[in-house]
Amino acid sequence: MRHVICAAAALAVLSGLAAPAWAQGKAPLVTFEYRDGAIAASLTGKAGDPQRGRQVIVGRTLGNCLACHEIAALKNEPYHGNTAPSLDGVASRMSEGEMRLRVVDGTKVNPDTMMPPFYRVDGLNKVMKRFQDTTILSAEQVEDVVAYLKTLR
């Protein structure tokens, strides 16, 4: 049942309920290089804002990370899931680049992950026409999420 709930949350993000991020228009994708399980360089060339990242993480129409992950620092926020690993202490376990790759496209690390690729447009299935060639999160939002995750030691 937990997998169904997390899958439903991911489907909601991918099916169009995440319109606020996609509604920003079809900005050209930032090119990036990943190697050794990480994207070392910021997608925007600058650090993200952890407060904005927190909003993306808890936002049910943006990242909706709490649908699958638990974060003790956000215990007052509703709807924590437990189908994905807890993000408590993630910054102690992973480098900034490793966290960035997982947000951009976790399938590069785990091809069987249920986590949607938040900054990928190719190789996706059944994407509504109006959302084709757009990402769930913008490059700035990815960096904001990474900035927040870096606070979770």
Per-residue pLDDT of the chain (153 residues; tens, 9 = 90+): 444 444 444 444 444 444 444 445 466 788 888 899 999 999 999 999 999 999 999 999 889 999 999 999 999 999 899 999 999 999 999 999 999 999 999 999 999 999 999 999 999 988 899 888 999 999 999 999 999 999 999
State residue 26's pLDDT score. Answer: 60
The domain tally of the chain equals: 1
CA 48 to chain centre: 14
- CATH number assigned to the domain comprising residue 57: 1.10.760.10
Gyration radius of the chain over CA positions: 14
Domain that holds residue 96: 2-149
Q: Is 129 exposed, middle or buried (0-12, 13-18, 19+ CB in 10 A)?
A: exposed
Q: Dihedral of CA 108/7/1/53: which sign?
A: positive
Q: What share of the chain is helix, strand, coil (3-state, %, to 5)?
A: 45, 0, 55
State residue 23's pLDDT score. Answer: 44
Residue 38 has phi, psi (to 5 degrees) of -150, 155
Could you tell me which of 1, 10, 141, 142 has the C-alpha nearest to residue 65? 10
